[in-house]
Structure 1
Amino acid sequence: MEGDDISEKLLSKVQVEENELKIKEKILIEWKKMWVIAAPAIFTRFSTFGVNVISQAFIGHIGSIELAAYALVITVLLRFGNGIILGMASGLETLCGQAYGAKQYHMLGIYLQRSWIVLTITGTLLLPIFIFTTPILRALGQEEAIAQEAGVISLWLIPVIYSFIASYSCQMFLQAQSKNMIITYLAVCTLAIHIFLCWLLTVKFKFGMTGAMTSTLLAYWLPNIGQLIYVTSGGCKETWKGFTSLAFKDLWPVIKLSFSSGAMLCLELWYNTILILLTGNLKNAMVQIDALAICLNINGWEMMISLGFLAAVCVRVSNELGRGSAKAARFSILTIVMTSFVIGFILFLFFLILRGRLAYIFTESEDVAEEVDRLSPLLAFSILLNSVQPVLSGVAVGAGWQSIVAYVNIGCYYLVGIPVGVVLGYVFKLQVRGVWIGMLFGVLAQTVVLLVITLKTDWDKQVLIAQERVKKYFVEAEPNSDSPNA
């Protein structure tokens, strides 16, 4: 009997060790799949976001009015347009990811072309906002000097709106196939060119805003030209079968999903935009806007890491749902959320200690640097929340829940966050800190709601929904196509 007990204990110990090894192997395999998508996405977003940060750093040394105007246009108007284009393009992530998981490879190229059609029309409808920037900002109560300068800057950014169409659609098309390293190479090269051109045109030749905006415009378009050449010239032979008339067929489902995606993301991006607008109406607006713009830039740099994980979880969830594996989708979500949170917590501690010292990279004003120092604890908490919230949004995009999350965003951001921010900022006279605290309340509420939704989701049911979506949107390849599905 004693020998049997010892044997049973040894067998049980061996089984536990084997299970631990299997879990470790599963985690390592998932990490490998995650980083194949997340690492290029993070580097790409760092480089892309760096274009605006570099421009702002050079413009900040031109003058405080120019810096405030650029911050307003980038954070309010360009983010408004960017939110719509990016949001509507994110519907492509759901469709391409699930189609790729289901091995309907030729559909990715068709979805990409349908997205170009929808996004080009959308981008054109946004032009009046950039043409009439000065009267719009004047009506919103901004200072006249800032509004006038912002009107000039916004005209430079009209071609940037169209660059977003090629940029986001190609990125999502390539990410679904885990082929986004090419985007990273292009983005890094462009960033280096942008730094040199900004210095050459603003410092060396003293062209001021004209020089900075010329370099910014080129920095947005150069990587897009490279992406388009890569996609259409043999880089994606399995998924790009050339231009096709099928792109004009069944556009309505793509439009519908694009609108749901756009509503979801716009409600989120505009939330920060409203924060800037509320700040513009506070006392000492120029210092408040400059300090907040610097904090949001630092926050934005960190957000690029979370957005890389957002891309990873979106692709992994959509691929696994398209493939029919609910268990793998759940495991991917757990692994990626925990990885992003750990990185976010480390950065939270780093920025809590560093406080306002980074402000001098963007400005020479001591008043602005002191305000940044006061805002630093809120910046640190924003970074911590950002390590989880975007990743959960990526789960929603991968599963196709965009319309549900749009309602969540309305409730958490606009019924909780903004009212709390207005009360704290204006009634309790906490100024920009009060407005930001309100924003954090909204983000926290949204994170909790998305976490509950994710935990309570029946992923086996989501597999069936994904498979039904893939079948519904499927079309046969054209006769002259060499697609395996033809």
Structure 2
Amino acid sequence: MTDFSQPLLPPTDKTKWISSPESNREYTAPIFAPDADDIPPINNARDFYREFRIESKKLWYLAAPAVFTSVCQYSFGAITQLFAGQVSTVALAAVSIENSVIAGFAFGVMLGMGSALETLCGQAYGAGQLDMMGVYVQRSCVILVSTAVILTPFYVFATPLLRAIGQTAEVAEAAGVMSVWMIPQLYAYALNFPISKFLQAQSKMMAMSVISAVALVFHAFFSWLLMLKLGWGLAGGAVILNASWWLIVVAQIVYIMSGGCRETWTGFSWRAFQSLWGFVKLSLASAVMLCLEIWYFMSLILFAGYLKNAEVSIGALSICMNILGWMVMVSFGINAAISVRVSNELGAAHPRTARFSLIVAVISSFVLGLIMAAVVLVTKNDYPFLFSSDSAVRQIVKELTPLLCLCIVIDIVQPVLSGVAVGAGWQALVAYVNIGSYYVFGLPLGLLMGFVLNWGVLGIWYGMISGIIIQTSILMIIVYRTNWNKEASVAENRIRKWGGHSVS
């Protein structure tokens, strides 16, 4: 059993020039030999099966509660959309646009910037430098709250922004009103993501799961009560959505400060305001990497607004994106787990274990993707009724289901590879891959097939799937060619750079 509390082995006397994937600069770092707790060499199928079973237990110990937490938190917006579809088609379109465009934009920025802590806290925890983790989370909160202030005008002026990019007047007006009501959620994002990454790096997944489960029950009941039973409509949805996110934030803070993280939380520190610019740069690299992925899917809903019968197209696509989102949340849970595993093992100088953790995660997620796609395909005549009372919307959803199933299989593997990138600190490199795969190839191809060739929603989606396939293939090549011993050295250098004491 790997002991994460053990520090890195003392470096050898030799050093060499290495390049970090997160920047284009080179520096000298020690070369580490794997320590005695690293995974032994695998020479045959029996060795592989033995180590696969051991690593699977470690991975799913983290992944199971992480998957549950991700599904619960994603379900907030999905449940709101579900009840909005029972209110009216315009209400469903308005919630979908606000969720996908305005809140989706903010969610991507906040989650991406908060993901820098997956690298820093995860590697510091693996290296046994627990005192720095509380400082890291405070720095991240300062940066993200400042970012929320900058993003607030996007919520306030959502209606003219949506009109400017071609949304219909009725949908833009309704989504704009909803956006103003959702400003409190923006500041909940700013605190939630740093705190959740802080807990995640310490494998405090179960506490997060319990908090999210309670919040989900609260959200489902009061959404039904306010939106349908009392007739508050979109206003009721906004009130409960804000309250649910803030319930999670407050509960997590209470858990941390009441002794749930005694070793890593020692109170507020002025060191949180030191080295902010360098921290911002890594946070921005994380944000760009993740935002390019989230905005890519967001653009699918956006471009659907330019098709004929836009309300029906947006409604149908939003249902498919909801289903896909729920499925991908399973992969995001594995993403969180593999990010913890890779960052902890690299921080503890276990490069072979880090590499094998990736193999187990990819195989597990692919099998799960096949199972979930099969379930969706079998129920294609039933699940659309849960989301909409409009027969035209339901019919389009049925036609899109085979494509949705293909997306599920592809998209459940891709976040796992992104989790490895975050755990190893490759955010800037993956951002460049995303730009080329998504925006140079996938999106233009989708627009060509959707509008020029008149394939409509199917054409846009086919083109975008092509970009995802290319991005996933490139990440697989990068991971395959990675020198994991070198990454263990880079991890130690990164810890020293961000304020940890030297372990040499």
TM-score interval, normalised by the smaller of the two chains: over 0.9
Q: 1:347 Cα deviation (Å)?
A: 1.4
Equivalent residue number for residue 414 of structure 1: 439
CA distance in 2, matches of 1:331, 1:207: 51
Tell which deviates more after alignment, 274-283 or 291-300: 274-283
| Residue 85 of structure 1, aligned match among 103, 110, 126 | 110
Q: 1:343 Cα deviation (Å)?
A: 0.5
Equivalent residue number for residue 236 of structure 2: 211
How big is each residue's C-alpha offset from its partner over 1:273-323, in whole Å with a ceiling of 9 and x where there is no partner? 111111100111111000000000000000110000100111100001000
* TM-score when normalising by structure 1: 0.93
The within-5 A match list for 1:264-279 is: 264-279=289-304
In the alignment, structure 1 residue 101 sits paired with structure 2 residue 126: yes
What SS is found at the alignment partner of 2:115?
Answer: helix
Equivalent residue number for residue 494 of structure 2: 469
Sort the Cα spacing of 1:19 and 1:277 in 2 relative to 1 into closer, same or farther, 3 A: closer
The within-5 A match list for 1:59-78 is: 59-78=84-103
Q: 1:219 Cα deviation (Å)?
A: 1.1
CA distance in 2, matches of 1:307, 1:228: 23
How big is each residue's C-alpha offset from its partner over 1:462-483, in whole Å with a ceiling of 9 and x where there is no partner? 1111111112222469xxxxxx
Is the contact between residue 84 and residue 266 of structure 1 (CA under 8 Å) also seen in structure 2?
Answer: yes
Number of aligned residues? 462
One-letter amino acid of the structure 1 residue matched with residue 91 of structure 2:
E
Equivalent residue number for residue 126 of structure 1: 151
Equivalent residue number for residue 259 of structure 2: 234
Tell which deviates more after alignment, 466-475 or 184-193: 466-475
CA distance in 1, matches of 2:369, 2:352: 26
Q: 1:58 Cα deviation (Å)?
A: 1.1
One-letter amino acid of the structure 2 residue matched with residue 253 of structure 1:
G
| Residue 164 of structure 2, aligned match among 133, 139, 143 | 139
CA distance in 1, matches of 2:226, 2:313: 29
In the alignment, structure 1 residue 397 sits paired with structure 2 residue 422: yes
Is the contact between residue 131 and residue 155 of structure 1 (CA under 8 Å) also seen in structure 2?
Answer: yes
CA distance in 2, matches of 1:18, 1:337: 20
One-letter amino acid of the structure 1 residue matched with residue 325 of structure 2:
G
Equivalent residue number for residue 282 of structure 1: 307
Question: Structure 1: any 5+ residue segments left out of the alignment?
Answer: 1-16, 478-484
Higher helix share: 1
The within-5 A match list for 1:320-399 is: 320-399=345-424
One-letter amino acid of the structure 1 residue matched with residue 302 of structure 2:
L
CA distance in 2, matches of 1:202, 1:267: 33
How big is each residue's C-alpha offset from its partner over 1:364-389, in whole Å with a ceiling of 9 and x where there is no partner? 11100010011111100100001211
How big is each residue's C-alpha offset from its partner over 1:199-249, in whole Å with a ceiling of 9 and x where there is no partner? 221232222222222111111111110001111221100000100011111
**What is the RMSD computed on CA atoms of the aligned residues?**
1.6
In the alignment, structure 1 residue 197 sits paired with structure 2 residue 225: no
What SS is found at the alignment partner of 2:267?
Answer: coil
Equivalent residue number for residue 64 of structure 2: 39
| Residue 52 of structure 1, aligned match among 61, 77, 90 | 77
Equivalent residue number for residue 113 of structure 1: 138
What SS is found at the alignment partner of 1:38?
Answer: helix
Equivalent residue number for residue 442 of structure 1: 467
Equivalent residue number for residue 221 of structure 1: 246
Q: 1:169 Cα deviation (Å)?
A: 1.1
CA distance in 2, matches of 1:387, 1:210: 34
The structure having more radius of gyration, on CA atoms, is 1
Residue identity (%): 44
| Residue 314 of structure 1, aligned match among 333, 339, 361 | 339
Is the contact between residue 145 and residue 191 of structure 2 (CA under 8 Å) also seen in structure 1?
Answer: no
CA distance in 2, matches of 1:263, 1:417: 18
Is the contact between residue 73 and residue 154 of structure 1 (CA under 8 Å) also seen in structure 2?
Answer: yes
In the alignment, structure 1 residue 164 sits paired with structure 2 residue 189: yes
CA distance in 1, matches of 2:101, 2:495: 36
Q: 1:27 Cα deviation (Å)?
A: 2.1
What SS is found at the alignment partner of 1:78?
Answer: helix
Equivalent residue number for residue 5 of structure 1: none
CA distance in 2, matches of 1:91, 1:440: 27
CA distance in 2, matches of 1:457, 1:19: 22
What SS is found at the alignment partner of 1:429?
Answer: coil
Tell which deviates more after alignment, 438-447 or 213-222: 213-222
Q: 1:36 Cα deviation (Å)?
A: 1.9
Q: 1:19 Cα deviation (Å)?
A: 6.4
One-letter amino acid of the structure 2 residue matched with residue 135 of structure 1:
P
Equivalent residue number for residue 6 of structure 1: none
Q: 1:145 Cα deviation (Å)?
A: 0.8
Sort the Cα spacing of 1:476 and 1:323 in 2 relative to 1 into closer, same or farther, 3 A: closer
* TM-score when normalising by structure 2: 0.89
One-letter amino acid of the structure 2 residue matched with residue 444 of structure 1:
I
How big is each residue's C-alpha offset from its partner over 1:73-107, in whole Å with a ceiling of 9 and x where there is no partner? 10111010000000111001000000000000011
What SS is found at the alignment partner of 1:175?
Answer: helix
CA distance in 2, matches of 1:114, 1:353: 47
The within-5 A match list for 1:289-304 is: 289-304=314-329
Is the contact between residue 356 and residue 372 of structure 1 (CA under 8 Å) also seen in structure 2?
Answer: no
CA distance in 1, matches of 2:188, 2:182: 10
What SS is found at the alignment partner of 2:87?
Answer: coil
One-letter amino acid of the structure 2 residue matched with residue 168 of structure 1:
F
CA distance in 1, matches of 2:115, 2:213: 23
CA distance in 2, matches of 1:18, 1:469: 33
